[in-house]
Structure 1
Amino acid sequence: MPAVIAVVILALLAVFQLALAAGAPLGHYAWGGQHRVLPRNLRIGSVVSIAIYALIAAILLGLVPFAEVGRWVVFAYFVLGIVVNAISRSKPERYVMTPVVTALAVLSLLVALG
């Protein structure tokens, strides 16, 4: 169940990143919050993020050969994400994304522990 919940959250984040890549004025929630509409390089970063979310989902669901080790890597990635979002200069990013990434860290830890 934790893996499914994490995948749903990742899917919602993928939709958010797709909106950012398409030019939605939500940039204050991501990438340091310095741009309401992301510049080209950060839009590309948003597209790359979607691919990373898909890989993370596959790892959490056990759909890849390296899922056992990958789950711990995913947990570490989300713990790092907590720190990065918590120190963001953007208040919206800090207040929205830090709890989201914290939830993903907890869920990925539960998945890794089995």
Structure 2
Amino acid sequence: MIISIIGSILFSIVLVLYILMALRLPYGEYAMGGKYKVLPKKERIISLLSVIIQTFAILILLQCGGLISFGVSDKIANVFCYFFAVYLSLNILMNLLSKSKKEFFYMTPLSFVIAICYWLTALNVEF
């Protein structure tokens, strides 16, 4: 349960970052390869779509952690929890390959901890 709370809080930080980027604030160096300081229109739309997916991912983590239930069966939620664990694990690799120092140094460890939270929650590991 505590792991899913930690993961949700940390993923919420990423979600807020993506909202700020979609609002044209200069945080683009922290995501999407760090190519733009302020995201162009196409990337802002992608950022907003990411916010929807991230919100869903947070809800999945909270349900798998036994904190909420939002209409998805526990079995399906667990499948999604594994999916997001794999996705975030791949995201770590992408962050490691980023040309942006900010994405590399800040987002890589953040993605790592969030991915661990998803793996532990999906595997039902309690602390």
Structure 1 runs not aligned, ≥5 long: none
Provide the rounded CA distance (Å) in 2 between the counterparts of 1:59 and 1:19: 23
Deviation of 1:18 (Å):
0.8
Paired residues, number: 114
Deviation of 1:45 (Å):
1.1
Within the alignment, does 1:93 sit opposite 2:94 as a pair?
Answer: no
Provide the rounded CA distance (Å) in 2 between the counterparts of 1:34 and 1:54: 24
Provide the rounded CA distance (Å) in 1 between the counterparts of 2:28 and 2:13: 16
Q: Deviations over 1:70-99 (max 9, x none)?
A: 111111011010011110111111111000
Provide the rounded CA distance (Å) in 2 between the counterparts of 1:97 and 1:17: 12
Provide the rounded CA distance (Å) in 2 between the counterparts of 1:19 and 1:3: 24
Mapping 1:37-76, distance limit 5 Å: 37-62=38-63, 63=69, 64-65=72-73, 66-76=76-86
Identical-residue share of aligned pairs (%): 33
CA RMSD of aligned residues (A): 1.0
Q: Which contiguous aligned blocks of 4+ residues in structure 1 show a shift greater than 6 angstroms?
A: none
Structure 2 runs not aligned, ≥5 long: 64-68
Within the alignment, does 1:110 sit opposite 2:111 as a pair?
Answer: no
Provide the rounded CA distance (Å) in 2 between the counterparts of 1:105 and 1:4: 13
Within the alignment, does 1:7 sit opposite 2:17 as a pair?
Answer: no
| TM-score, normalisation: structure 1 | 0.95
Matched to 1:89, the amino acid is K
Residues 9-18 or 61-70, more deviating: 61-70
Q: Which has the larger radius of gyration?
A: 2
